[in-house]
Amino acid sequence: MGEKAYAKIVAENGRQFHITEDSSLEVDIGRERRDADPNYFCLADQNTISKKHAQISWDITNHGFFIKNLSKNKI
């Protein structure tokens, strides 16, 4: 059985990020390496995405995850 999580993000390269009880329900994704930051997911190493590209968060009122573009580029 895998890790108990509210959500899981999986990148094309196989990297996985789990949103769990211990993590914030707000996660930034991008290309930076921040191993000490539990609320940041390094999606790729390529310059095709920004260092801080997008934010995924849980909306309590609407009971769903939402994504916010933090980049000049498209998501």
13-44 pLDDT tens trace: 777 777 766 666 788 888 888 888 878 888 77
- CA-CA distance, 48 to 8, in Å (whole number)? 22
Q: Over pLDDT 90: what percentage of the chain?
A: 4
Rg (the chain; Cα; Å): 12
Residues 6 or more apart whose Cβ sits within 8 Å of residue 15: 41, 42, 43
Half-sphere exposure of residue 41, counting CA atoms within 13 Å on the CB side? 24
